[in-house]
């Protein structure tokens, strides 16, 4: 019974093992099929990679070719542009030189014309200055000059009359002083105080003359002019005072003032 039980167990285990082996074989076949599919896919991917590599190489070569062609075209275009710019620059330089020469010629002509105009204006200015210097006097200027001359003449006459009146009064004053001194037998000493005179010592009892005589109007008589008298001036002609004989008991007449009033003119 134990043996049979063990045989049953072994059979049952063998069946289980067979089922397990069948499942594993089925899974193995499935895995082998999947591996074959993966191998095919890998092979296909390798083929795609090779194709893409070849296409990439072709594209790279095409890109290099296009780049070289584009660089060559760019160089040609740059050369064309440089030649065109050089031609335009030459044309612009020629135009600039031509315009510069034209402007220089115009400037020289204008400068010469201005010099001629300046010379003509200078000559005209000199002529106008000469005409202005040699111009005729205006009537109002002539009238003003005449009035000024008349005023100067009148003023000279007034000044001359004033000088004569001053001389008359001076001579009259000298004459009166001389007559007064002769009548009263006086000889006054005219002087001024000299504050700068040196003071003498208090013990010196000699009188000091604190006055310094200065010349006065009586000094005019020292010239010796007069009717034989060394200290008397010539009498004023046509003077009523000097025509009358001197009388000590009769006072001298008063001097006659000038009849015409003194007028002082002022020019505005």
DSSP notation for 53-94? HHHHHHHHHHHHHHHHHHHHHHHHHHHHHHHHHHHHHHHHHH
Percent of the chain with pLDDT over 90: 42
pLDDT at 15: 87
User: Which residue is associated with the tokens 């013990």?
Assistant: 203
Tell me how far the alpha carbon of residue 238 is from its chain's centroid. 75
Q: What are residue 193's DSSP bridge partners?
A: 211
Contact 265, 151 (CB under 8 A): yes
Spatial neighbors of 212 by CB under 8 A, at least 6 apart, are 191, 192, 194, 197
The answer to whether 209 touches 162, Cβ cutoff 8 Å, is no
Query: Cα(170)–Cα(220) distance, rounded to whole angstroms?
Result: 10
Find, among 234, 266, 260, the residue nearest to 161 by Cα. 260
| Alpha helices (runs of H) in the chain, residue ranges in sequence order | 2-133, 139-184, 240-243
| pLDDT tens digits, 79-133 | 999 999 999 999 999 999 999 999 999 999 999 999 999 999 999 999 988 888 8
Strand-pairing partners, residue 192, are 212
How many residues are recorded in the chain? Answer: 268
What are 216-248's pLDDT values in tens digits?
Answer: 444 444 444 444 444 444 555 554 444 444 444
Q: pLDDT averaged over the chain?
A: 77
Residues 233 and 241: beta-carbon distance below 8 Å:
no
Q: How many CA atoms lie within 13 A of 203 on its CB side?
A: 0
Phi-psi region of 58 (alpha: psi -120 to 50; beta: other; left: phi over 0): alpha
Task: Please report the sign of the dihedral spanned by the C-alpha atoms of residue 124, residue 129, residue 135, residue 138.
Answer: positive
The answer to whether the beta carbons of residues 217 and 230 sit under 8 Å apart is no
pTM (two decimals)? 0.29
What pLDDT is attached to residue 119?
94
Work out the percent of the chain whose per-residue pLDDT is above 70: 69
Quickly count: other Cβ atoms within 10 Å of residue 174's Cβ. Answer: 19
Q: Report d(CA 44, CA 46) in Å as an integer.
A: 5
């Amino acid at each position: 019974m134990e043996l049979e039980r063990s045989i049953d167990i072994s059979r049952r285990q063998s069946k289980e093992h067979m089922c397990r082996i069948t499942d594993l074989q089925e899974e193995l076949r499935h895995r082998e099929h999947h591996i074959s599919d993966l191998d095919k896919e890998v092979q296909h991917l390798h083929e795609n990679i090779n194709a893409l590599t070849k296409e990439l190489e072709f594209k790279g070569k095409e890109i290099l070719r296009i780049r070289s062609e584009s660089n060559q075209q760019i160089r040609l275009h740059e050369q064309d542009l440089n030649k065109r710019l050089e031609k335009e620059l030459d044309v612009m330089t020629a135009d600039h030189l031509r315009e510069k020469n034209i402007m220089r010629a115009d400037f020289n002509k204008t400068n010469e014309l201005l010099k001629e105009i300046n010379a003509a204006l200078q000559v005209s200015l000199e002529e106008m200055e000469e005409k202005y210097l040699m111009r005729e006097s205006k009537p109002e200027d002539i009238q003003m000059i005449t009035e000024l001359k008349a005023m100067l003449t009148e003023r000279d006459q007034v000044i001359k009359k004033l000088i004569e009146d001053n001389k008359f009064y001076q001579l009259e004053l000298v004459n009166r002083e001389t007559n007064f001194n002769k009548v009263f037998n006086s000889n006054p000493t005219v002087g001024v105080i000299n504050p700068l005179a040196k003071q003498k010592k208090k013990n010196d009892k000699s009188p000091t003359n604190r006055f310094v005589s200065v010349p006065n109007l009586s000094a005019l008589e020292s010239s010796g002019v007069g009717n034989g008298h060394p200290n008397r001036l010539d009498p004023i002609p046509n003077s009523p005072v000097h025509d009358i004989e001197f009388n000590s008991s009769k006072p001298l007449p008063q001097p006659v003032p000038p009849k015409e009033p003194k007028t002082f003119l002022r020019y505005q």
